[in-house]
Amino acid sequence: MGATGGGDTLRRVLAATWTTADAATWWTRAHGDDDRNLLVAYFSMEFGVDERLPIYSGGLGVLAGDHLKGAADLGLPLVGVGLLYRGGYFEQGLDAEGGQTEHYVPIDPAARGLELEPVTVEIELPDRTITANVWRKDVRSVPLYLLECDWLTDALYGGDREHRLRQELLLGVGGVRALAALGVEATVFHMNEGHSAFLALERVRTLVENGAARDEAIEQVRRTTVFTTHTPVAAGNEVFSEKEVVRFVGDIAEDAGFDEDALLALGRFGDNGFGLTPFALRLSSHANGVSRLHGEVARDMWESLWPDRNGHAPPIGHVTNGVHLGTWIEPRLDALLRSARVRTGASPDEAGWNAVDGIDPAALWEVHAAARTRLAEVAGLDPSMLIIGFARRFATYKRAGLVFSDLERLLALPVQVVVGGKAHPQDADGKEVLQRVVELARSPETRGHVVFLENYDIGLAQTLIPGCDVWLNNPRRPLEASGTSGMKAAVNGVLNLSVLDGWWAEAYDSAYGWAIAGESDEADAEQLYRLLEHEVVPTYYGDRERWIGMMKASIRNLAPRFSIHRALIEYVDGYYLPAAPQR
């Protein structure tokens, strides 16, 4: 399933013209005369820039794609660096038992607008040399460089631990070498999650090769490196065995001036092997989590890395994620906002969104009903019955089964639940939850109430999210570092019903949504059902005026605050400029 309806072309045009009103970019207006020399190299294992280029698996990659699009809107000097997986991320199917099937469909780079750069990159490993091509995809003014080596970049998150480690060496070490070969003189390196952390080691190595003392080189690299940690979940903080690291990274580390012990010390945390998150934190002076709450959680989690703090908090801040409004506001709603003179331009101008108040409620409802009808067609739902959406990766902490924990109680309500999402190919527990939900959706008992949509991706998300009335998110607190699909819902006037975790812990207000405390599975399920029975359903069917008022409040308050532009400006002011050298 990848149906996206006829809004596709319109959507692409809108995304491209999102900021034409701003003749000079935000960057030149705000920082054109700065004495800082800024060119950010933004490294990520995944990029979700385009649903037809499936080199992302979920929120991390979509965020990275939105980061590039927002940087282009704002005129930021930034390039992206990633990997081109020739098989991409898998397309999800379902077998007769409801289990997930995985198909890797080869990507044709030329058809996806990629151009081959005239450089190659080599990394000598003990058993084999990696030789990689460099492809370029322009996200308008922002180039995205993607490294590719046939036997290594076969698929995103396929293969064993060694395969992953080699891929991560290609991203980090190879990415730095690619930029040098291309003559891109980046001054600030942003590691989006620990996967790219070996870039710091390669930069130290280069400085040492050019005559710097090792500790000086480390300091210089730390000063100019930004690291964003994205999850407190163990599986998301990658750990390799010390043996693997010595084998594959030892030679590069030696050239950078680290013997085995010194290398291993950089990744040590407890007796857990070699962790990429501690490694990245030790090699960057600028670090952040991705929501206010996650910033606190990350400081607690990693505080023992800074034993000499003298009572000061560990140096991890936060920048709450945002979403690219040009990508995620549904095209007809976008047109309505423009006709109401809502200022949706490139800087997050909160006052510019007040004009949402003046929109004719009937017009807003009509636009929303059209989106709901389109989703109902795709999903086989009844467009006159309230639709609750739940779609995201099937990681167990996200508790996709919670809303079904008392099926009788759910089915007694006039609501439909539409579910989507892929399980990580190696996550057996996630796959099991997925299978249970699919079985449930297929059972005659839930007919007309529960639907599972296969192959959740950016294209499906663009139809699914705006077509829902309520967006449900019920992770186990505080494991959802940010969550971004709720932001995509909010900016479309889809009301959030969510655990007070991640972004919702700072965004929630009863004027435009509902909150679940996030305590235990039982308590959260009880609160979820109570809210559905006593708030959501009665308001939706009994007080449409109030509902539409909440939709407006959601758009007006949350679109400027959870726009990627706001997040990018915080990165510029709090991270990129402080990391940039003087001109």
> Interface residues with ligand PLP (CB under 6 A)?
58-59, 62, 392, 456-458, 461, 473, 483-485, 488
| CB of 174 closer than 8 Å to CB of 104 | no
Let me know: does 295 contact 322? Beta carbons within 8 Å: no
Q: How far is CA 55 from the centre of its chain?
A: 12
Q: Which amino acid is at 142?
A: V
Which of the 8 DSSP states describes residue 357?
A: G
The candidate with the shortest Cα–Cα distance to 464, out of 262, 312, 328, is 328
Tell me the closest approach of the beta carbon of residue 483 to ligand PLP, in angstroms.
4
> Which residues make beta-bridge pairs with 147?
83, 134
- Type of residue at 324: H
| Closer residue to ligand PLP (CB): 453 or 572 | 453
Q: How far is the CB of 257 from ligand PLP (least distance, A)?
A: 40
The closest of 331, 332, 316, 248 to 284, measured between CA atoms, is 316
CB of 551 to ligand PLP, least distance (A): 19
Give CA 219 to chain center in angstroms.
29
Residue 458 vs 505, nearer CB to ligand PLP: 458
- Count CB atoms within 10 A of the CB of residue 527: 18
Is residue 472 within 8 A of residue 419, CB to CB? The reply is no
Q: How many CB atoms lie within 10 A of CB 141?
A: 15
Residue 202 or residue 330: which is nearer to ligand PLP going by CB? Answer: 330
Closer to ligand PLP by Cβ: residue 245 or 451:
451
Q: Do you find a cis peptide bond into 478, omega within 30 degrees of 0?
A: yes
Nearer to ligand PLP, 144 or 465 (CB): 465
* Helix H or strand E encompassing 275: strand 274-275
CB nearer to ligand PLP: give 46 or 154. Answer: 46
Shortest reach from residue 475's CB to ligand PLP, in Å:
8
Q: How far is the CB of 137 from ligand PLP (least distance, A)?
A: 18
Least Å distance between CB 204 and ligand PLP?
34
Strand partners, 419: 390, 452
**Nearest CB to ligand PLP, comparing residues 19 and 485:** 485
Please compute Rg for the chain using Cα positions: 24
Phi and psi, residue 192, nearest 5°: -85, 90
State in angstroms the smallest separation of the CB of 293 from ligand PLP. Answer: 14
The amino acid that residue 257 corresponds to is: G
Query: By C-beta, is 67 or 222 nearer to ligand PLP?
Result: 67
Instruction: State the minimum distance, in angstroms, from the CB of residue 419 to ligand PLP.
Output: 12
C-beta neighbour count of 373 within 10 angstroms:
14
| Nearest residue (CB) to ligand PLP, 63 versus 298 | 63
Minimum distance from CB of 421 to ligand PLP (Å)? 7
